[in-house]
Structure 1
Amino acid sequence: MNDRLRRLPALLFAASMSHALAAQPAPPAPRGVAFVHVNVVPMDRERVLTDQTVVVRGDRIIAIGAGVEPPAGAAVIDGRGTAWLSPGLADMHTHSDSARDMALYLANGVTTVLNMGEASNEFLAQVRPAIERGDKPGPHIHAAFLVDGSPRYGHFTVTNAQEAREIVRLAKTNNYEFIKVYNNLSPPAFHALVDEGRRRGLPVVGHGVTAVGVERQLDAGQLMVAHAEEFLYTCLLQPKAGSTEPVPDETRIPGAIDAIMRNKAFVTADINTYATIARQWGRPAVVERFLRADEVRYLSPDRRLAWRHAGYDDRHGSLDDNLAFLRRFVKAMSDAGVALVAGTDAPTIPGLVPGWSLHDDLAALEQAGLSRYQVLATATRTPGLLFQRADATAVQSGTIDIGRRADLVLSEHNPLEDLATLRHPLGVMVDGRWHDATALRRMLDDIAADYVVAGAPR
């Protein structure tokens, strides 16, 4: 058990307003919550505000300032001048669709997730509303409907423009917020998805479409590219004399960045996802090491089996050169001002456990040369901007400011000096509901215990 979690009760108010996954949720405090004597990392720009009071009422931040008095009757969380308050984190590429996985995200300070395909109907129609009501703990859930042009990968398939338009209407009816495009769409189907998505308020995000090309996709209106490596597959690789495989071409990076910038598009900077695949590529022993990691106790038994049979260890060759290139490409995008968002593909890739994987991605971005502010923006400020672009009526999030949604993480240290402090939250607020570290620990313990009962070893 994390020693920071043991120390928390001395720091925070004793009466927690949140409960574990199996417990009855507490209603939000009727007169609000006040964080007092906290240092704030607002993420509107690179700065800190010391010794502040932040007042939350309902799901919104209503006051911030050094001289703000907590409202009468508000629950008070005292940071004692040493705790740091920053925006809740966002994982902008997940495939989790269970209540337990949502609790894992919350316990890791993740207050927003974007499910990028094939979430179950039960998850979207029952689990998501239960979390929104506060009946279950978890982050805000956004969802993309995944569409491909062939059944090769087992996805929903459209073969022409008419079918593409119909699938967008169906997605809208079922409360999806995005359309995710996959590799094998035909050009007419892709363009119909973009056009109908624009009409219905469902922006297109996703992969590079082989028959279109990611730069032309962006020019057509695709809002976000779901993996940085999609640029490798569609525009940054070039045949090389004496090589049987195409290799990355550094001279093509400026053109790719220009396409992103002129369309004000977003790119998922998922370096750790690609690095995790590269680590196990052709190496069976690596997956077994992943399965012995401590956080795997919180992974469902069926997902552990899926990891073991994912097949990356059967591949040949090496991805190391591509990985090194991607690190340089992501750094170049960041230097150019591209709107990068963090995303992990958890838990479909062996080695990526929901929640923990986001912290690993942030660490990988820092190792690629991004500043800590730039890294933290990929999981806070920039996702908030993306959701605003997708829906101008959406509640603003991703920064700490009056009127913003009250999604917050309390940490022991300044994340702009040490991102790893976010791995051990002292407490997490989502939609104005506070979960202290004791409640977060209980969530994790209950999930691990459930999986032991289900037959999965600790």
Structure 2
Amino acid sequence: MNTMVRFITLVTLLTFIAACEPAQPPAPETSHQSPKNFAFTNVAVVNIARNSGEIAEAQTVLVVGDRITTVGATSAVTVPSGFVEIDGTNQFLMAGLTEMHGHVPPASSFGQLPERYLDDVLFMYVANGVTTVRGMLGYPHQLQLKQDITEGKRTGPTLYLAGPSFNGNSIESPEKATQRVIEQRDQGWDLLKVHPGLTLSEYQAMAKTARGANIDFAGHVPKDVGLEVALTEGQRTIDHLDGYLEAIDALNRPASKYELDYLVDLTLRHGAAVVPTQALWATIIGASDIEQLRQYEEIDYVPEAVRAGWFNYLEEPSLGYFNAEAAAIQQDNRQRLIRALFDGGVPIIFGTDAPQLFSVPGFSALREITVLHDAGIPLAGILHSATVAAGEYFADKDLFGRVAEGHRADLVLLQQNPLEDPAALAGRSGVMVAGQWLDRATIDNQLEAIRAAGMRKSANFKPEQTP
């Protein structure tokens, strides 16, 4: 598994170092309009708890700027003059989703992808109802990008960003780890990203300094560190369930209930959360259906260079698709583990690791919901992980994750009840991100432009090139 962890780290780095250029295409025209106030009228508001959800019928939700100011019965709420009214009759309004392990492309490359790619990624998140992204691999331009989105200069989700990663190549000593923590805190990054390769002493130096600097660290669990040490040192989230099956030596054999209970108790004892990324990891370890992956409609939205890399991965048996039996055992363990963590009360926060192998930004949310639901987690629990739980994680930075007064106006208007059907999120009438409304027509037009661009061949792309 250590080889696999190194590989996914390499895939992530190559995907973003080799595949992107500065992005300056026209944003959707709504991004430069004057701020408006909105009223969603006669809508069913979706209220989500960890183990259940409820629908409040016939509600009016008022939005002023980027804030929800009123939520109440339509019969009792008067829509002020000048508000743009959106009729929510027979529709459902829920909080926007958070992508807790997402990526934002860098702003420089070897010219292999179109200039528009960065803005296309941002838009695909929002178009699919993902209104907040915790970016988990920092590049220098991203802090300015975050500010540009906040100021309305670009259309995109609210970003919370990890800096450049702590890994075996970037850190060569405990002293370097300490220095890098302070540098990233002072530069304004929101958290530190842990990748494989850190030694125990380097990791502990990073963790000690981060605690003193009041900055979170999250991500992978380096092999020399192990799950128990990572939890003890205060790693805020364990992403990809990294280190869990290794801790009980159950990568290639079924885990027992006793072992799963141990992992649940260990996580609860230290107060960490997990970001499972189940759908993506099934692809990485070789547990996905190859032909089904090839038929994903959303892969038309990524450029040819990206698609080629993904298809090449499926053709290279040494990279993952070499032992179907072992992959099936590991995936079953992961599904049983995430269900045990959920049932045991461990905080789960939603993430898909997009853009990554067949994990297309925004579209990947529905894939992840389906896999989590297959594990036996109720829809309310999954939606809670993508809304309320994410808002609680970032409670020191802003108020969001619920359809409630004072919360950031991140909203998704749906045609079906998301508590009843995992596919309901595909039926969006529109998305509001920080008070900016994108109706379905605007979304569809922009997505079609992205799809058309994705299907064009890149004149500069040479499959044999590696950076």
Do Structure 1 and Structure 2 share a fold, with TM-score over 0.5?
yes
Q: 1:76 aligns with which of 82, 85, 88?
A: 85
Residue 23 (structure 1) aligned with residue 29 (structure 2) = yes
| Closer, same or farther: CA 20–429 of 1 in aligned 2, 3 Å | farther
Q: 2:406 aligns with which of 394, 403, 417?
A: 403
Distance 1:249 1:211 in 2: 25
Question: Residues 177 and 201 of structure 1 are in contact (CA less than 8 Å); yes or no, is this contact kept in structure 2?
Answer: no
RMSD in angstroms over aligned alpha carbons? 2.4
Question: Residues 28 and 432 of structure 1 are in contact (CA less than 8 Å); yes or no, is this contact kept in structure 2?
Answer: no
Q: CA deviation at 1:307?
A: 1.4
Q: Structure 2 regions of 5+ residues with no counterpart?
A: 1-24, 106-117, 462-467
Question: Residues 231 and 256 of structure 1 are in contact (CA less than 8 Å); yes or no, is this contact kept in structure 2?
Answer: yes
Counterpart code for 1:77: I
Counterpart code for 2:421: D
Q: CA deviation at 1:355?
A: 1.1
| Closer, same or farther: CA 455–290 of 1 in aligned 2, 3 Å | farther
Given the two structures, how large is their TM-score scaled by the length of structure 2? 0.83
Q: CA deviation at 1:352?
A: 1.4
Determine the structure 2 residue equivalent to 1:112. Answer: 132
Question: Residues 30 and 438 of structure 2 are in contact (CA less than 8 Å); yes or no, is this contact kept in structure 1?
Answer: no
State the Cα deviation string for residues 281-324 of structure 1 (Å, max 9, x = none).
Answer: 8x9xx37x645532122102331232133367413213100111
State the Cα deviation string for residues 74-127 of structure 1 (Å, max 9, x = none).
Answer: 1111112x010000011111223222111011111110111212x4323x0443
Q: CA deviation at 1:357?
A: 0.9
SS in structure 2 at match of 1:35: strand
Q: CA deviation at 1:259?
A: 1.9
Residue 433 (structure 1) aligned with residue 436 (structure 2) = yes
Counterpart code for 2:336: R
Question: Residues 331 and 370 of structure 1 are in contact (CA less than 8 Å); yes or no, is this contact kept in structure 2?
Answer: yes
Residue 222 (structure 1) aligned with residue 232 (structure 2) = no
Distance 2:363 2:124 in 1: 8
SS in structure 2 at match of 1:50: strand
| Closer, same or farther: CA 132–149 of 1 in aligned 2, 3 Å | closer
Residue 41 (structure 1) aligned with residue 46 (structure 2) = yes
Counterpart code for 2:249: L
Distance 1:114 1:292 in 2: 28
Counterpart code for 2:97: L
Distance 1:247 1:291 in 2: 29
Q: CA deviation at 1:47?
A: 1.8
Q: Which moved more, 1:293-302 or 1:104-113?
A: 293-302
Q: Structure 1 regions of 5+ residues with no counterpart?
A: 1-18, 152-156, 240-244
Distance 2:244 2:34 in 1: 45
Residue 54 (structure 1) aligned with residue 61 (structure 2) = yes
Determine the structure 1 residue equivalent to 2:115. Answer: none
Distance 2:332 2:315 in 1: 19
Residue 358 (structure 1) aligned with residue 365 (structure 2) = yes
Determine the structure 2 residue equivalent to 1:167. Answer: 180
Given the two structures, how large is their TM-score scaled by the length of structure 1? 0.84
Question: Residues 105 and 111 of structure 1 are in contact (CA less than 8 Å); yes or no, is this contact kept in structure 2?
Answer: yes
Determine the structure 2 residue equivalent to 1:135. Answer: 153
Distance 2:190 2:283 in 1: 29
Residue 344 (structure 1) aligned with residue 364 (structure 2) = no
Determine the structure 1 residue equivalent to 2:343. Answer: 335
Q: 2:204 aligns with which of 170, 191, 194?
A: 191
Within 5 Å, which residues of 2 pair with 1:249-260? 249-260=256-267
Residue 63 (structure 1) aligned with residue 70 (structure 2) = yes
Q: Which moved more, 1:43-52 or 1:332-341?
A: 43-52
Q: CA deviation at 1:280?
A: 6.4
| Closer, same or farther: CA 385–341 of 1 in aligned 2, 3 Å | same
Question: Residues 240 and 281 of structure 2 are in contact (CA less than 8 Å); yes or no, is this contact kept in structure 1?
Answer: no
Question: Residues 56 and 432 of structure 1 are in contact (CA less than 8 Å); yes or no, is this contact kept in structure 2?
Answer: yes
Determine the structure 2 residue equivalent to 1:14. Answer: none
Question: Residues 303 and 456 of structure 2 are in contact (CA less than 8 Å); yes or no, is this contact kept in structure 1?
Answer: no
Counterpart code for 1:40: V
Determine the structure 2 residue equivalent to 1:415. Answer: 418
Distance 1:191 1:146 in 2: 18
Distance 2:392 2:293 in 1: 34
Counterpart code for 1:21: A
Q: 1:326 aligns with which of 316, 330, 334?
A: 334
Q: CA deviation at 1:145?
A: 2.6
Counterpart code for 2:155: P
Counterpart code for 1:317: N
Q: Which moved more, 1:88-97 or 1:356-365?
A: 88-97
| Closer, same or farther: CA 380–107 of 1 in aligned 2, 3 Å | same
Aligned length: 415
Residue 306 (structure 1) aligned with residue 309 (structure 2) = yes
Distance 1:273 1:230 in 2: 16
| Closer, same or farther: CA 417–436 of 1 in aligned 2, 3 Å | same
Question: Residues 266 and 386 of structure 1 are in contact (CA less than 8 Å); yes or no, is this contact kept in structure 2?
Answer: no
